[in-house]
Amino acid sequence: MDKQHIKGAMDKAKGAAKDAVGKVTGDDRMQAEGKMDKAKGEARQAVGDVKDAVRKSTR
């Protein structure tokens, strides 16, 4: 696990919280920000997966 995985997990958690709060309060902007944060987190985790695969293949 590298920094990208950790940052991705943090972004996904932050995004899920914003999405939930936005949904409960009816704040469409916050909900959209939450969805963007979740997508950013998933992308970072994908980058981390690629880095892990490269490291494993070069061993």
Its pTM stands at: 0.84
Taking the CA atoms of the chain, what radius of gyration do you get in angstroms?
Answer: 14
User: pLDDT (tens digit, 9 = 90+) per residue, 9-40?
Assistant: 999 999 999 999 999 999 999 999 999 999 99
Asked whether the predicted pLDDT for residue 8 surpasses 90, the reply is yes
The residues spanned by each domain of the chain are 3-52
Sequence-ordered list of residues with C-beta below 8 angstroms from that of 57, at least 6 positions apart, any chain: none
Under 8 Å between Cβ of 4 and 47: yes
Q: What is the pLDDT of residue 1?
A: 72
Sequence-ordered list of residues with C-beta below 8 angstroms from that of 53, at least 6 positions apart, any chain: none
Sequence-ordered list of residues with C-beta below 8 angstroms from that of 50, at least 6 positions apart, any chain: none
